[in-house]
C-alpha cells in the first residue's frame, strides 16, 4: 500500500493506493503558495492518509508539475510554482516519514496510471496526453515511462503546432507572444484550458470555466458544438504529429478537459483520418479517454513502486546523488 499525492499550482490531493489498484477517497485542498505552507500541507495530508490506510504504507509517491529531477526528487526552476524552486522534497519527506519517496512529473505519472488501471489498462506502449491548465504528456514503452534523451522525459506539449495564438502558453491572460518554454506556436498554446476558454468567451457564453458550457452541449447548442469541433480538430492535428513519430496503436487522453471527449472526438478523428488518407496504417487503433482523470496520476505513483518491486531498471535509489 502506498500514499499517492498530486501537488499542483493551486491544489494538493492525496489518497492511499494498493498494489492492486484499489484506492481510498481523495480529499482536495488548496495549497498555500509558500514553501513552509506547502511543507505543512504535505505533512498534514500524508499523516491523514496514513492514519486511514487499511494496510501499512510502504512508500510515498508525489506527482507534481515541474520541471523536476525525478532521480534526486527535487524541483528545478518551476514554471508556475516559484516558491518550490530547488526544493528537495524527497529528502524532506523521507526524513519526516522514514518511507521511500518517489517523484514524477504529473503527466508522466498520469500516463503510467492510464496504462495500468485507467482507460488503457494492460497496454504496453502508448502516448498519453493530459489536457488541462497546460498540456502534459507521457510516453509509455514496455509498461514504463520513456525518458527520451532528457532526464525529464519528452515534453510533447511543446512541439510546434502552428503560428499563434500569440499569447503565453502559461496560464492566465498574459499577452506575451511566447510560450513559457521560450517558443511560439506550441501545442500547449492551442489546446490548454485558456485556449478553450478563449473560444467559449468569444462565442458569447457567460462562462467562468469551460465546464460551464456542458449544459449547452447537452442541449445541442450549435455554438457550443462548433467550439468542440474546432477543439477536436486542433487535437486531431496534434495527435497526427505525435502519431507520425510514435505510431502507437493506443493513445490516452486524461486531464480535466478530457471530460469533453464525447463532444470533441468526432472532430479529432475526422482530422486524423483526413491527414492520414494515404497512410491509414498510421491511425491509432483507439484513443481512450480516462474513466477518472482525477485518479490518473495518483494511480501512476503507486505503479512506480509496483514496478520497482518487480525489478524495474528505470530508477534506482543510488541514482539520487
The contact set with Zn ion (CB under 5 A) reads 158, 179, 181, 183, 186
By beta-carbon proximity to Zn ion, the closer residue of 102 and 158 is: 158
Helices then strands, counting H and E runs in the chain, come out as 9, 12
By beta-carbon proximity to Zn ion, the closer residue of 136 and 236 is: 136
Closest contact distance (angstroms) between CB of 183 and Zn ion is 5
Closest contact distance (angstroms) between CB of 216 and Zn ion is 31
By beta-carbon proximity to Zn ion, the closer residue of 123 and 168 is: 168
CA-based nearest residue to 187, from 201, 169, 199: 169
Distance CA 283, CA 280 (A): 6
Closest contact distance (angstroms) between CB of 184 and Zn ion is 8
By beta-carbon proximity to Zn ion, the closer residue of 141 and 181 is: 181
Closest contact distance (angstroms) between CB of 128 and Zn ion is 18
Contacts of 20 by beta carbon, 8 Å cutoff, 6+ apart = none
By beta-carbon proximity to Zn ion, the closer residue of 17 and 179 is: 179
State residue 295 phi and psi, 5-degree precision. Answer: -95, -15
The vertex-151 CA angle with 143 and 135, nearest 5°, equals: 75
Closest contact distance (angstroms) between CB of 134 and Zn ion is 9
Distance CA 163, CA 172 (A): 19
| 250-to-14, 54, 124, 126, 268 alpha-carbon distances in Å | 28, 34, 9, 5, 15
Amino acid at each position: 500500500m502506498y500514499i499517492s499525492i498530486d501537488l499542483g499550482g493551486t491544489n494538493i490531493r492525496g489518497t492511499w493506493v494498493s498494489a492492486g489498484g484499489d484506492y481510498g477517497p481523495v480529499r482536495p485542498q488548496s495549497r498555500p503558495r509558500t514553501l513552509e505552507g506547502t511543507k505543512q500541507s504535505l505533512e498534514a495530508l500524508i499523516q491523514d492518509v496514513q492514519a486511514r490506510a487499511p494496510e501499512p504504507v510502504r512508500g510515498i509517491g508525489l506527482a507534481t508539475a515541474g520541471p523536476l529531477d525525478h532521480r534526486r526528487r527535487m524541483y528545478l526552476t518551476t514554471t508556475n510554482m516559484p516558491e518550490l524552486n530547488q526544493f528537495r522534497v524527497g529528502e524532506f519527506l523521507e526524513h519526516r516519514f522514514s518511507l521511500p519517496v518517489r517523484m514524477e512529473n504529473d503527466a508522466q505519472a498520469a500516463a503510467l496510471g492510464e496504462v495500468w488501471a485507467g482507460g488503457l489498462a494492460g497496454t504496453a506502449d502508448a502516448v498519453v496526453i493530459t489536457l488541462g491548465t497546460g498540456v502534459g504528456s507521457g510516453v509509455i514503452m514496455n509498461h514504463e515511462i520513456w525518458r527520451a534523451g532528457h532526464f525529464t522525459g519528452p515534453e510533447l506539449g511543446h512541439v510546434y503546432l502552428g503560428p499563434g495564438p500569440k499569447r503565453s502558453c502559461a496560464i492566465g491572460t498574459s499577452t506575451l507572444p511566447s510560450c513559457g518554454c521560450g517558443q511560439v506556436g506550441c501545442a500547449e498554446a492551442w489546446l490548454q484550458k485558456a485556449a478553450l476558454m478563449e473560444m467559449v468567451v468569444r462565442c458569447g457564453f457567460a462562462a467562468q470555466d469551460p465546464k460551464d458550457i456542458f449544459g449547452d452541449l447537452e442541449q445541442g447548442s450549435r455554438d457550443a458544438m462548433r467550439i468542440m469541433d474546432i477543439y477536436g480538430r486542433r487535437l486531431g492535428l496534434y495527435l497526427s504529429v505525435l502519431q507520425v513519430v510514435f505510431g502507437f496503436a493506443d493513445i490516452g487522453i486524461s486531464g480535466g478537459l478530457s471530460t469533453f471527449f464525447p463532444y470533441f472526438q468526432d472532430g479529432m478523428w475526422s482530422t486524423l483520418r483526413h491527414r492520414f488518407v494515404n497512410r491509414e496504417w498510421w491511425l491509432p487503433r483507439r484513443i481512450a479517454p480516462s474513466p477518472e482523470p482525477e485518479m490518473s496520476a495518483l494511480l501512476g505513483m503507486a505503479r512506480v513502486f509496483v514496478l520497482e518491486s518487480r525489478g524495474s531498471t528505470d530508477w534506482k535509489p543510488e541514482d539520487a546523488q
